[in-house]
Structure 1
Amino acid sequence: MKMESLDVRGRWKARMNAVEACTLPETVPDLLDSATNRYGERIALNFFEDDISVTYQTLRDLTCRVADGFTKMGITKGDRVAVMLSNRLEFAVSWIAIGRIGAIMVPINPNYTPRELLYVLNDSGALALVIEDSFLPTLTEIAGAASSLKDDKVVVAGKHENANGRLHWDDLLVKDQGCVETVQVARDDLLNIQYTSGTTGLPKGCMLSHDYWLVITRTSIAVDSEPAVRLLTAQPWFYMDPQWHLLKTLWSGGTLYCAKRPSLSRYISWLKKYKIEWCQFPKLAMQQPTEDDDGNTRLKHAFLSGWRGDAELHFESRFAATGRDIFGMTEIGMALAMPGDAVNMIGKGSCGLPTPWRKARICNASGEEALPGEVGELEISGRAILQGYWNKPEATAAAFNGVWFRTGDLFRCDDQGYYYIVGRIKEMIRRSSENISAREVESVVQMLPEVFDAAAVPVPDERRGEEVKLYIQLKPGLTPADCDVAKLQSHCERLLAPFKVPRYYSFIEEFPRTSSNKIAKSALTNAAVDPLKNAYDRVDSIWR
């Protein structure tokens, strides 16, 4: 067994070294231009539910025209352009067009409330905004409050009349004069400020360069067991996943099939209908009923994130395809992956081995590198990880140990060099594909004058992985009649995106505390205790 593992690791190391020796394009637009020269009339993007598809040549031309449009708006290198769109072609075009002129995209979750939208616009200092017409009511509620954003720099996609001096998407489509690059853009220039849910409350903007995206997508090609040219993305585009799925597609000269929104009930049917060869398979889709033709898809390889136990075995048996675990974060991209030929590791719960341009180590509580089998915090270093958190030097300093990024996740490494996730230091709740900061939920609830303290914790959920449960301690002398669940729920719905609103609510007389007077959340999530007992379920509208 050890000899087999040695052979696998040797082949993996050789492949990864070969990838690191490759010369990457200078920028993301350069990758598209190179792919267009090779695959010009192939279909690059297929938004199949909207019956919209574009070739490589058309995609390149659109990005050039929109880049010229941004320039005519007065957008220059280093300016931040916020993008608040659903899964549609304009998102992909905007991203690469922004990169062509050296500007920086700030993706925004369309589910954000006015409070959340205003925070990101002001924190990033966005000078322009591309927004879908259906999201304009959210923008209207903060009219004039975004300090750097003016109406003549707001571009509306969809049905819209030029009100308040705003532009329409078609106004950006400057007459095609070819791609004339007038700005020097380099690999280390920022392309994204990608906001992630912060464990300390408000989201933090990860500063990601062109090189970051090229490194992680070239890596994604390297770890595949077989080349694929029909890829599927169903996640929201404001997340980083569809963005790197697009670049992965450009590397391979393939077609990316794009869903309007995630759907667990339709995901497997999309694999079959569009003859998908690669995807990032959502674990919860495995709950869909098995069908006789599940093993007859064209699927070659799927990335599986966080699958444990025999889940990988069930996936491979059901779909007759290779499924391998990966570990990554917005800050570092894909850092660990399980080799496709490591069949002896299936079901063992490992995230795999370090990927190209990434080094990994585990540090114990003393800050020393851990011994094999010892649990500690995973740290990652390497080329083109995040350059820091936008406008947050203290958070940046706290996130690094020299050149090593501190992931906040607890890992161990076995004597063969395979990494295993054990738990997490950070207080994050993972609901479906959404990361929710417990601290942000708590901060919002603590705005209510009746609330003394609050704690948001994850509770297991068969459909979504985890749901948010909120514990509330009212101020002395008050009872739930003074601040009932309806008031709590309404308050959360007004200030939090829908996916962050707690499902379960429990009142508590006094929180268990640690010696430093922090809430002892481990006591609240004790596995021996029924987490739903005496909790109000807002979905089913009952007390459990």
Structure 2
Amino acid sequence: MHETIPELMRHAARTYGAREFLRCNDTSLTFAEADERSDLIARGLVAWGVRPGDRVAIMLDNVSDWPLTWLGVLKAGAVAVPVNTRYQAADLAHVLRDSGSARTVTNLDYASINLGGCSTPDFLTYQQSHLVPDTPTESHDVANFQYTSGTTGFPKACMLTHDFFLRTAQIIADQVNLRDDDVMIMAQAYSYLDPQWATVLCLLGGVPLVVLPRFSASGFWASVREHRATLTYVLGSMPLLLHKQPPHPRDRDHRMRLVICSGIRPDLHQAFEERWGAPWRELYGSTESGPDLVMPEDADGTAGTGALGVPPPGKEVELDESGEILVRGVPMMRGYWNHPEATAHAFRDGWYHTGDLGFRDAQGYIHHAGRIKDMVRRGGENISCAEVEAVLTQHPAVLQAALVPIPDELYGELPKAFLQLRPGHEPGVELAVSVVGHARERLAKFKIPAYVEFVEGFSLTPSARIEKRHLLTPERDQRAAPAIATDHPHRATAQKEHS
């Protein structure tokens, strides 16, 4: 196995040369061309003052410059900090400040909300520099600060090594039995981990990666047909949004031979396969630990059972006495940047504690049975409750706030905020809109509470924390009055955005 991602890139350029590697809306590049352009970006970064170990934030849309900049950052021996383009001032400031990013590669659309030194990929390639990066990068060196909302607090950076990406890609290549004629298509934002491991996967196999500008439920299968894609990965609300589209005469008219999905709904699993004529296979894991359980391509009898799969080589997965899913082995993050206590807590007793609950069936497969994390899973997005609560309590009328997940057919979960007001403020729709507007100016859209409910006070734990379990009792209708739907057009909006 190759030691680093740049080493793999150079091997792929030598081996596959003129084969197509990257297909985006803005361009198509061969393996050799991608290697050459990422070299230019690496030289520009060095001329810009970037040194080995420096953090470089990348805030770009799904264009070819995203993976090329990522590869260039790694070739320069630096650490990439992927940034969600939907971030606003507050969440962006947290990521840049926490990571210590000295430089940000972005475009003019996002430069206005960036803090610190900004540049564009074109600027980097035009730098007059003959400095050729020659950094002794090793497999255990950190490639990414990948921010994720963990069990508590604000988003933390998972320190992911070159080895993490290479092993993750190899595990998935083995799961799908990667072939020479495969074409991988991805619709997630490049700031997420998935398109990044897909890039490494395609470097491993010498096959094309098609990157769509965004996910479109109505246009996805048309794109699959257009690009003759054979493999894809979906998660969160994507499968349900696809399923809600009207049946089409060409639903089975494609080359797709396998859909990888995290969190396949058991009651719809067989319907997915029958409608689109391709097997769907589960992939369970996390940003912290990579793939933990994978369902083999040929596991036909498990469709609809909810089984998550088997541990890949290098991984062990067990359940503790409480039913929490525990993982150890490789790949695995090196820890959370700047959070040694959180790292120690996550890796108690030598196991990574996923925060997910599970059970084992008679065949030995583990099934997902809920979550114990203080977070909301809105579609494919993880929302840290503490992060949103901190912003809500900055509103002058809010004394305390508690964010909880409520069930939603489309997104799986939506965030609902319970607010205790300061003396002198009266609850009502106008105030709810004001609080949500305050949050909207500071946080990404997917983090904004969909519902608000005002309360007189909160029940507290012995450690003076809000006891959220009392807010989530099953007999409560979480959408009914006195709840206020602050984002009530969210369904129509979401359908429009994803169609």
Shared fold, TM over 0.5: yes
Does residue 298 of structure 2 align to residue 321 of structure 1?
A: no
Q: CA deviation at 1:156?
A: 2.5
Separation of aligned partners in 1, 2:177 and 2:208? 18
Query: Given the superposition, is the C-alpha separation of residues 236 and 173 from structure 1 closer, same or farther in structure 2, using an over 3 Å criterion?
Result: farther
Query: Given the superposition, is the C-alpha separation of residues 71 and 459 from structure 1 closer, same or farther in structure 2, using an over 3 Å criterion?
Result: same
**1:495 aligns to what SS in structure 2?**
coil
Q: How does 1:460-499 map to 2 (within 5 A)?
A: 460-476=407-423, 478-480=425-427, 484-499=431-446
Q: How does 1:7-156 map to 2 (within 5 A)?
A: 24-47=1-24, 49-50=25-26, 52-139=27-114, 142=115, 149=116, 151=117, 154-156=118-120
Task: Give, as a single letter, the amino acid of the residue that structure 2 aligns with 1:211.
Answer: D
Matching residue of 1:452: 399
Query: How many aligned residue pairs are there?
Result: 484
Query: Given the superposition, is the C-alpha separation of residues 325 and 520 from structure 1 closer, same or farther in structure 2, using an over 3 Å criterion?
Result: same
Does residue 178 of structure 2 align to residue 221 of structure 1?
A: no
CA deviation string 1:321-371 (max 9, x = no partner): 111111110011111011222222211111111012211111124xxxxxx
| Structure 1 runs (4+) greater than 6 angstroms displaced | none
Matching residue of 2:135: 183
CA deviation string 1:168-214 (max 9, x = no partner): 24434857x9xx55221110011101111233221101001000000
CA contact under 8 A between 1:450 and 1:482: conserved in structure 2? no
Structure 2, unmatched stretches of 5+, are: 491-499
Indicate the percent of aligned positions where both proteins have the same amino acid.
35
CA deviation string 1:513-534 (max 9, x = no partner): 5566543433333333321101
Matching residue of 2:475: 528
Q: How does 1:215-254 map to 2 (within 5 A)?
A: 215-224=167-176, 227=179, 229-254=182-207
**1:208 aligns to what SS in structure 2?**
strand
Separation of aligned partners in 1, 2:312 and 2:421? 49
Does residue 166 of structure 2 align to residue 211 of structure 1?
A: no
**1:64 aligns to what SS in structure 2?**
helix
Query: Which of the residues 427, 434, 443 maps onto 2:390?
Result: 443
Query: Given the superposition, is the C-alpha separation of residues 173 and 253 from structure 1 closer, same or farther in structure 2, using an over 3 Å criterion?
Result: farther
Query: Given the superposition, is the C-alpha separation of residues 257 and 537 from structure 1 closer, same or farther in structure 2, using an over 3 Å criterion?
Result: same
Separation of aligned partners in 2, 1:498 and 1:382? 36
Does residue 487 of structure 2 align to residue 539 of structure 1?
A: yes
Separation of aligned partners in 2, 1:423 and 1:235? 24
Separation of aligned partners in 2, 1:309 and 1:512? 36
Structure 1, unmatched stretches of 5+, are: 1-23, 143-148, 159-167, 366-375
CA deviation string 1:422-477 (max 9, x = no partner): 11110221112211111211111122233232221222333333222111122355
Larger Rg: 1
Alpha-carbon RMSD across the aligned residues, in angstroms, is 2.2
Separation of aligned partners in 2, 1:315 and 1:327? 18
**2:284 aligns to what SS in structure 1?**
strand
Does residue 235 of structure 2 align to residue 283 of structure 1?
A: no
CA contact under 8 A between 2:450 and 2:488: conserved in structure 1? no
Task: Give, as a single letter, the amino acid of the residue that structure 2 aligns with 1:196.
Answer: T
Separation of aligned partners in 1, 2:405 and 2:128? 46
CA contact under 8 A between 1:216 and 1:333: conserved in structure 2? yes
CA contact under 8 A between 1:213 and 1:244: conserved in structure 2? yes
Matching residue of 1:260: 213
**2:93 aligns to what SS in structure 1?**
helix
CA contact under 8 A between 2:150 and 2:373: conserved in structure 1? no
Query: Which of the residues 382, 399, 404 maps onto 2:329?
Result: 382
CA contact under 8 A between 2:188 and 2:214: conserved in structure 1? yes
**1:351 aligns to what SS in structure 2?**
coil
Task: Give, as a single letter, the amino acid of the residue that structure 1 aligns with 2:285.
Answer: G
**2:119 aligns to what SS in structure 1?**
strand
Query: Which of the residues 126, 129, 142 maps onto 1:171?
Result: 126
